[in-house]
């Protein structure tokens, strides 16, 4: 089963439509369960809910073979923690989906690290959904010392600017 989630704050019709089209193609045989927010689009090829209670959301996430989502850090972190194959499509400023393109930057970096697959536009979704079946995300290695060093550098830079 594939779990499609677009987060809880805004709908993401561009992603929902792309997944729906891919799910409607010949040969697609995966069950999709979706949480799509207050979408103006009604999927034809899978069942979708506007919102899910946390326990239900967690159950679908845990049971899913793979996940499709926007490039939000909450979903990315959950997928990495559970080693779930993840396909993301970043929300983009040019479509009014976010105020800046931070999700694009996040998606590119995590793709470089081998943690997830990225569909940069709706046309990429069908092929990326096929790749998702065999995709194995790289194991994330926590680096608290590196993070602490970066924070220390940042704070030192701030203190020098304040003088």
pLDDT tens across 77-96, in order? Answer: 999 999 999 999 999 999 98
Q: What angle do CA 64, 107, 41 make, to 5 degrees?
A: 60
Give the global pTM.
0.88
Report, as an integer, the average pLDDT of 23-34: 90
Pick the closest to residue 32 from 87, 106, 76, 104 (CA basis). 87
pLDDT band at 163 (very low <50, low <70, confident <90, very high): low
- Check residue 32 and report its DSSP letter: E
Helices assigned H by DSSP within 64-162: 73-82, 102-112, 125-132, 144-161
- CATH code matching the domain that covers 2-161, chosen among 3.40.50.2000, 3.30.1600.10, 3.10.50.40, 3.30.300.30: 3.40.50.2000
pLDDT tens-digit series, residues 105-142 = 999 999 999 999 999 999 999 999 999 999 999 988 77
Token pair belonging to 5: 């989630």
Strand 66-69 vs strand 47-49: parallel, antiparallel, or unpaired? unpaired
- Break the chain into its structural domains and give their ranges: 2-161
Q: Record the tokens describing residue 128, joined without a space.
A: 């990326």
């Amino acid at each position: 089963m594939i779990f499609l989630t677009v987060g809880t704050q805004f709908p993401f019709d561009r992603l929902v439509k792309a997944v729906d089209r891919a799910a409607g193609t010949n040969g697609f045989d995966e069950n999709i369960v979706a949480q799509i927010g207050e979408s103006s689009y009604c999927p034809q090829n899978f069942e979708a809910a506007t919102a899910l209670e946390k326990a239900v959301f967690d159950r679908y996430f845990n049971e899913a073979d793979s996940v499709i989502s926007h490039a939000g850090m909450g979903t990315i972190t959950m997928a990495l923690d559970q080693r779930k194959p993840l396909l993301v499509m970043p929300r983009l400023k040019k479509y009014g989906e976010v105020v800046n393109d931070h999700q694009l930057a996040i998606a590119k970096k995590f793709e470089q690290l081998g943690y997830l697959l990225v569909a940069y536009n709706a046309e990429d979704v069908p092929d990326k959904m096929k790749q998702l079946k065999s995709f194995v995300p790289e194991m994330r290695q926590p680096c608290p010392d590196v993070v602490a060093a970066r924070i220390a550098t940042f704070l030192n830079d701030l203190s020098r600017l304040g003088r």
